Amino acid sequence: MISIIKKFPITSSVLFFVFTMLIPWSLLYPLLCNLSYYWGFFIKYSVTFILSIAITLFIYKRIPFTLKNPTYFKGLFTFGLLGIICAIIAFFSSMQKMDRVTNFIEVFSFVLYIIAVVLSEEYLFRGLLLGLLLEKYNKTKNQVLFAVTISSVIFGLRHYINLITMPNTIISTTGQVLFTFMAGFYLSCVYIRSRNIYIGCTIHFLEDLFTMLWLLVSVSYFENQNVDGNLLNTLGLVAVHSIYVIFGILMIKDKRFEFKNIMEEVK
């Protein structure tokens, strides 16, 4: 079974996405849609996180992600500085009126939701899916970029699931698909270059926290979640964030990047 999975990594990656997100989320939606605050989202992403770990253990017999303290901060600022800067810019560019009163339980559930999103998506798309693709596509830098692209495409398309809860937002959701493809491309390259999945988790956490904070404290932002975006603004946002792909390619094409033993360190 494992040999078949590694022989057909693209098909396996799509099936793992269906198994860890699409199927359980569809089954859980009727049960969780009436939960207060962000507990429903937290449960959905937690299920994906657990299933991703289970599949990873099945394939690799161990969880291949360790926090290397001596390299964490160096890798964060060497390869992840762009993501930190973009997260800060996103915070100010998405500013809304802070007119919604929150309480501790709501803030706590919101933070747990963000953490569940980050861990589930990084373990599934960067750790499991990208690692699986790199099992086969690791001979040249172009093959590595191909693996990064496929895992990022699946990551981007995953956001069309949001149409289940926001069916009237096809333009903004499509923009989100394109943007998250670019962000996933960058995070994949950061993971490969830093050999540390938690650097990507940090960037992802800051990006989601800063862009969704207004959902917590703004009435207008909260009420307009099911309002479709402007096509021109969406295209502008995608164009600006294309820098993620450019930096990602530069990181992999870097002459100092040695990828001969990439699977020994990444998987």
Q: What is the pLDDT of residue 211?
A: 87
Closest to 119 in 3D by CA, of 25, 47, 49, 206: 49
pLDDT (tens digit per residue) in 19-49: 999 999 999 988 888 887 799 999 999 999 9
Long-range contacts from 20-28, C-beta under 8 angstroms, 24+ separation: 20/47, 20/48, 20/51, 20/52, 20/55, 20/124, 21/48, 21/124, 21/158, 21/161, 22/161, 24/48, 24/51, 25/161, 25/164, 26/164
The CA distance from 175 to 151, in Å, is: 18
The CA distance from 118 to 186, in Å, is: 15
Q: What is the pLDDT of residue 262?
A: 55
pLDDT (tens digit per residue) in 166-189: 778 888 889 889 999 999 999 999
Residue 104's domain spans which residues? 2-266
Spans of the chain below 70 pLDDT: 66-70, 223-224, 259-267
Q: What is the pLDDT of residue 181?
A: 96
Sorted by sequence, the CB contacts under 8 Å of residue 254 that are 6+ apart come out as 193
Q: What is the pLDDT of residue 267?
A: 46
Structure token pair of residue 97: 């009126």
The CA distance from 129 to 148, in Å, is: 9
Q: What is the pLDDT of residue 266?
A: 47
DSSP 36: S
Question: pTM here?
Answer: 0.92
Total number of domains constituting the chain: 1
